[in-house]
Amino acid sequence: MDKIKVLVVDDSALARRMLSDMLNEHPEIEVVGTAQDGAFVINKIKMLKPDIITLDVEMRTKGGLEVLPEIMQNYGLPVIMVSAHTERGAHATFKALELGAIDFVTKPQAGDMRSLAEIGDILAQKIIAVTRYGGKRFAQRRAPVMQPVKPIAPLSRMIGASSHVDLIAIGASTGGTEAIKDVLVPLPPQIPGIVIVQHMPAGFTKAFSQRLNSLCQIEVKEAEDGDEVLQGRALISPGSHHMEVVKYGSKMKVRLLETPPVNRHRPSVDVLFFSVAEKIGRRMIGVLLTGMGADGADGLRMIRDTGAVTVAQDEESCVVFGMPKEGIKRGGASHILSLHAIPEFLVNSVQHMVRQPRTLT
């Protein structure tokens, strides 16, 4: 199998060297070149013909946000952003994802060798996942067309407590930031409470939640320990904590935990899914979106075993068909749907007490 050809773009000579050294250690990856800012990227693409690009978000001359639309429009290459671990870096990163970047990693913290090794491993995994399992879908990829999303009609016939769906739980990883946006933006304010785990570094989930809150009809916020799960509210687990759902009488609340990673992740989708399967049972919907690995696959099966409806995103609409594929393979998905079909399915499931057009075995 040919090595994956990577172009590393960063205005820091130290960062370029560190990223190149880390990636070249992986037997499936070869860094074919580097560039110090966006002004050099296009010529490097033409000369080196990389399979994927790592792109610094903020550079002195021509930053990642400036050159990214040109890359997407003219070359359609997958791009992974490399972001500073700052609030400004977080907001710029989500803008890059909106412009067509696939995913992001944070820059290693100075002097932290454990962080350096961990980030190098994460970046290599993302590069392999995107190019080996999503690369074909980027062959004709171009900059996304920004069109307003048509909201789904309000749930006029839904009567709060009488609904047979009390909660919706969503898990995602690589490609999930935009997938979650596409699911949440059309949802009406009467939708049951939503709890979400997106694999993301600490410090980025707040900016992610704020961005979604500005776009959605429902309230979206980074979860705090003890937050109540309410109709018309989506709670996103902080990047540094697992999140569980617990019941206090008729109320549902979230509990945040700093326990060890599960499936190499904190937050872990399985931790959330196991808790809702145990505490909520069949009166819920579980959704597993795009992502690499298998986190959430066992949890989705556990949710389905309660009799609840479960959804896995289909291969065609996934950035990386990893987590949903494993969820399907392990028998956890009662429905396999394209990303654009999921919001309306959720609304119909709530309003019409869960329709099942087909059951998978």
State the catalytic residue, choosing from 11, 51, 56, 199: 199
- Rounded Cα gap, residues 327 and 331, in angstroms: 6
Our answer to whether residue 242 is catalytic in this structure is no
Q: Which residues contact 222 (CB under 8 A, 6 or more apart)?
A: 205, 206, 208, 209, 235, 236, 238
Chain centre to alpha carbon of residue 216? 17
State the catalytic residue, choosing from 11, 56, 103, 295: 295
Pairing relationship of beta strands 309-313 and 335-337 according to DSSP bridges: parallel
- Rounded Cα gap, residues 73 and 76, in angstroms: 6
| Largest Cα–Cα separation, the chain | 64
Token pair for 322: 């990893």
Q: What angle do CA 289, 206, 267 make, to 5 degrees?
A: 50
b/e burial code for range 95-126 (CB count within 10 A of at least 16 → b): bbbbbbbbbbbbbbeeeeeeebeebbebbbbb
Cis peptide before 267 (omega within 30 of 0): yes
| 210 SS3 class | helix
State the catalytic residue, choosing from 20, 83, 163, 173: 173
Our answer to whether residue 265 is catalytic in this structure is no
- Rounded Cα gap, residues 204 and 181, in angstroms: 15
DSSP alpha helix (H) spans, the chain: 13-24, 41-48, 64-74, 87-99, 113-133, 176-184, 205-215, 269-279, 297-305, 323-329, 342-351
Residue with tokens 């006029």: 156
Our answer to whether residue 173 is catalytic in this structure is yes
Pairing relationship of beta strands 335-337 and 29-35 according to DSSP bridges: unpaired
b/e burial code for range 295-320 (CB count within 10 A of at least 16 → b): bbbbbbbbbbebebbbbbbbbebbbb
Residues with active-site annotation:
173, 199, 295
